Amino acid sequence: MLSRTASDLYWLSRYFERAENTARMLDVVWNLSLIRFAVDTQAEIAAPLAITGTGDHYGSRYGKVTIQNVLFFFTLDADSPASIYSCLRQARASAHAVRGKITAEMWESVNSTWLELKDIRQMGLQAYGETAFFEWVKNRSHLFRGATYGTLMRSDTFRFLRLGTFIERADNTARILDVKHREGQQESNTTLDYYRWHALLRSVGAYEAFREMFSETINAERVAELLILRPEVPRSLLSCLQMLCELLPSIEGNAGLESKRLAAVQLARLQYGDMNHIVDIGLHDYLTDFLRRVNELADTIQSEYLELV
């Protein structure tokens, strides 16, 4: 496959996945902002800025952190690279470049997503409904994934799309977990803690999984175990790395030695990981190290497969 084509496929699914995860993250924030506790929820509202490292950019544009501004910044703001609008614009541009490689149904799902998003932007987030919008984004992502699974030939086209999905998902899950964790550390409020972890599980669609696997009250350590070490949860770090390690060796040709090695090392760290060990290191330090490794892997995939050298 052409390196440029592979790159467009990879970034198409990365941006679509990022849009979906952004919607998931915002859904939590939006719901928390509606639940008025005795305490200030300002930290919750600012959380997405911390997760994505866009605090400075936001500050220079909007100044004060308000729920309305944060929501706009991450949804329909065309000038914010972190917005769902920008992600889907990029996804659509990548899809356009490889429309001959993907099936008509996949292209149509990306293209109609983009056309509908432009209409929604005209309408405005409040008029469309915040929750309805987050659901719409998730549904569009499900639709694209469904079209991909249901119609695309299992070739390198499929594999590079999947590669992008799991690199992005591993990164996003780690970030969202890290930020929630840090908030939990800052102030101890049992009720608020419960809602925080509850909301986090809901945001990644893992609430039911938690209930099924653990009979105890929702708490930080168990949520972390679920989202880091459990292979049953499709958004866990372990699941993402398992997929990456399955995908990389199945790509045609002998390129990508270093990518395969890095992925395998990280998979082993998770497969043989232990929650007690993670608690000893400290969850934040553990996740910081994980993010560094995932980004090193992403850079290596970029240089070994996708760049025109």
Partner 1 sequence: MRSLKLPAVSGFDEMIAPGGGARPHYTSYHDWLLRQDRGLLQRKRKEAELQFHRVGITFNVYGEDSGTERLIPFDTLPRVIPASEWDLLERGAIQRVNALNLFLHDIYHDQNIIRDGRIPAEQIFGNSQYQPCMQDVDLHNQVYSHISGVDLIRDGEGDWYVLEDNLRTPSGVSYMIENRRMMMRLFPELFAEQTVAPVEHYPTLLLETLQQSASYSHPTVVLLTPGQFNSAYFEHAFLAQQMGIELVEGADLFVKDGFVYMRTTAGPQRVDVIYRRIDDDFLDPLAFRSDSMLGVPGLLSVYRQGNVVLANAVGTGVGDDKSIYPYVPDMIRFYLDEEPILNNVPTWQCRKPDDLKEVLERLPELVVKEVHGAGGYGMLVGPAASQAEVELFRDRLLADPENYIAQPTLSLSTCPIFVEEGIAPRHIDLRPFVLSGNETRVVPGGLTRVAMKSGSLVVNSSQGGGTKDTWVLEGGEET
Q: How far apart are CA 42 and CA 67, in angstroms?
A: 9
Q: Is residue 103 helix, strand or coil? A: coil
Residue 3 within binding range of partner 1, rule CB under 8 A = yes
* Of the candidate residues 35, 78, 123, 255, the single one contacting partner 1 (CB under 8 A): 255
How many CB atoms sit inside 10 A of residue 195's CB?
19
Measured from the CB of residue 222, what is the shortest distance to partner 1 in angstroms? Answer: 40
Residue 96 within binding range of partner 1, rule CB under 8 A = yes
Contact 228, 237 (CB under 8 A): yes
Q: How far apart are CA 227 and CA 170, in angstroms?
A: 10
Candidates 22-30, 66-74, 100-108, 127-135; binding stretch for partner 1 (CB under 8 A): 100-108
Residues in contact with partner 1, shown as a per-residue x/- string from 139 to 178 under the rule CB under 8 A: -----------------x---x------------------
Nearer to partner 1, 170 or 306 (CB): 306
Residue 108 within binding range of partner 1, rule CB under 8 A = yes
Give the DSSP letter of residue 175. Answer: H
Nearer to partner 1, 104 or 123 (CB): 104
Measured from the CB of residue 249, what is the shortest distance to partner 1 in angstroms? Answer: 13
CA 253 to chain centre: 29
Q: Is the dihedral of CA 224, 172, 230, 287 positive or negative?
A: negative
Residue 251 within binding range of partner 1, rule CB under 8 A = yes
Q: How far apart are CA 131 and CA 125, in angstroms?
A: 10
Tell which residue, 170, 164, 20, 10, has the closest CA to residue 95: 10
* Of the candidate residues 36, 60, 100, 127, the single one contacting partner 1 (CB under 8 A): 100
Give the DSSP letter of residue 223. Answer: H
Nearer to partner 1, 99 or 138 (CB): 99
Give the binding site for partner 1 (CB under 8 A): 1-6, 96-97, 99-101, 104, 107-108, 111-112, 115, 156, 160, 251-255, 305-306, 308-309
